[in-house]
Amino acid sequence: MRLQKVLIAISLILLIAQTDASFGSSGTTGIVYAQTQDAKVEFLTASDLKSKVTQNQPVTIIDVRTTDAFADSSRKIKGAVHLKLRRLRYRLGFAPLNKVSRDSEVITYCSCPNDELSIKAAQVLRDSGFKRARVLKGGWREWLKQNGPVETIAKAP
């Protein structure tokens, strides 16, 4: 009985250590890794994405904020394409996403407190063959805090 308790305690410690190892920074690259229940998702910091956008580096940005959050905003990240998460897989077959290489960098963002929608979007992209799909850590709110480049959303009349 005592041996069984010790083995359970050791298993619990190993599980906690494995969970802690799943979250963390990769160093100075600005990429943070998190293990989700389905797949490993990479995060990119707002400051690193800001550098890429301001230097006109090739990156595709997908805004998966909810319809209400998007409608309530007058802005989006410069160059971003807004899509509903539930339509993402379908929209990959149409312009402009059908022209995006599966090897290119694709960043997803939302305005959720824990990046839930953008994590799911990155998983859809990875499942669809995008090798460099990442999540903007902190999403829209962090982008605004970093004073990242934005553009006005064209509203329908």
Closest CA to 69 of 32, 113, 106, 34: 113
* Mean model confidence pLDDT for the chain: 83
Retrieve residue 57's tokens: 């580096």
pLDDT reading at 16 higher than 90: no
* Tokens describing residue 120: 């799911």
Closest-CA residue to 30 (of 49, 50, 45): 45
Q: Which strand (E) or helix (H) includes residue 52? A: helix 46-54
pTM over 0.85: no
Q: Is the four-CA dihedral 80, 37, 67, 146 of positive or negative sign?
A: negative
Domains by residue range for the chain, with CATH: 25-152 (3.40.250.10)
